[in-house]
Amino acid sequence: MKKHLKLDLILKYMSTKLDDIPKRPTTIVREAELNFSKSESNMMFKLLCDDGYICEHSTEGYYGIKYKGLIFLENGGYQLEYKIYCRKKLAAKISDFVDIIVKPIGILTALLISAWNIIKLLEFFDGIKSSIS
């Protein structure tokens, strides 16, 4: 299971259990029937807190979901953010390819065509001069 999906599943579980959210990360993960280690669940909850989607109610590690988290999940969550990131990464690769390969080939082609046309013009005018003389 991808990490983005795991984060979305935690938010989804917390959003469906608004009245009775378990308070500890390990309990939330267990009740949501997700199998994460304690350290992984703690890191995930820290990330969710840092992103502002859940809040830590006290220093004892009790968590609750924020309305911002509900809206974020409704708008696609971490999976949508990851898809957008992948699209941007692909667009950057294509842009780099165009800048490195396609543009120089286009410039070189334009220069060669211009040189070819100049040569043909010079041949044409030399032909006119020789026919006049």
% of the chain beyond a pLDDT of 70: 92
Q: What is the mean pLDDT of residues 9-32?
A: 83
* 83: confidence class by pLDDT, cuts 50, 70, 90: very high
CA-to-CA distance for 78 and 73, rounded, in angstroms? 8
Q: What is the mean pLDDT of residues 98-120?
A: 93
Per-position b or e across 90-110, b if 16+ CB within 10 A of its CB = eeeeeeeeeeeeeeeeeeeee
